């Protein structure tokens, strides 16, 4: 009788551990590709590993209210920004400043909303990601 109860308890434990109630990962995304990467990058491409954190920060903030990767909406597309400014330390610094403190007149009359709560290092990561999107390799 005692051994039957032990076997029964063991079976219940195995059954409980075998029933994984956690949601299954979306098979659309490979382990190297998150849903954030898929939203941020066009054509299913993922951000280059060096700039993925900046891409995640853009998705986590309100950036998509005014910007898209490929198309101009309220503000310029990220590809337009990347095509205009070469990827260098000075442009990363300037773009990070615009992200944190806002800007006006660089892309028309609309004013870019400031994001003063962002840490400078985070704004710089975001700027690096944006500038990494340049596919033109030419200056304006």
What is the residue extent of each domain of the chain? Answer: 35-140
**pLDDT score for 31:** 45
Binding-site residue numbers are 63, 67, 112
Binding-site residue numbers for heme c are 63, 67, 112
Q: What would the pLDDT profile of 8-65 be if each residue is shown by its tens digit?
A: 565 555 545 455 444 444 443 344 445 455 555 544 455 677 888 898 899 889 999 9
Please indicate, yes or no, whether the overall pTM of this predicted structure exceeds 0.85.
no
Whether the predicted pLDDT of 95 surpasses 80: yes
**pLDDT score for 24:** 45
* CATH of segment(s) 35-140: 1.10.760.10
Q: Which long-range contacts (CB under 8 A, 24 or more apart) does 75-79 make?
A: 75/107, 75/110, 75/112, 76/107, 78/130, 78/133, 79/133, 79/134, 79/135
């Amino acid at each position: 009788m005692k051994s039957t109860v032990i076997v029964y308890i063991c079976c219940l434990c195995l059954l409980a551990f075998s029933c994984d109630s956690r949601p299954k990962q979306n098979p659309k995304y490979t382990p190297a590709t998150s849903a954030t990467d898929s939203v941020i990058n066009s054509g299913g491409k993922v951000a280059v590993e060096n700039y993925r954190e900046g891409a995640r920060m853009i998705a986590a903030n309100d950036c998509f209210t005014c910007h898209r990767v490929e198309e101009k909406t309220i503000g310029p597309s990220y590809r337009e920004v990347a095509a205009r400014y070469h990827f260098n330390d000075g442009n990363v610094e300037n773009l990070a400043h615009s992200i944190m403190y806002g800007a006006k007149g660089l892309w028309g009359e609309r004013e870019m909303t400031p994001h003063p709560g962002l840490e400078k290092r985070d704004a710089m990561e975001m700027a690096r990601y944006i500038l990494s999107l340049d596919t033109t390799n030419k200056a304006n």
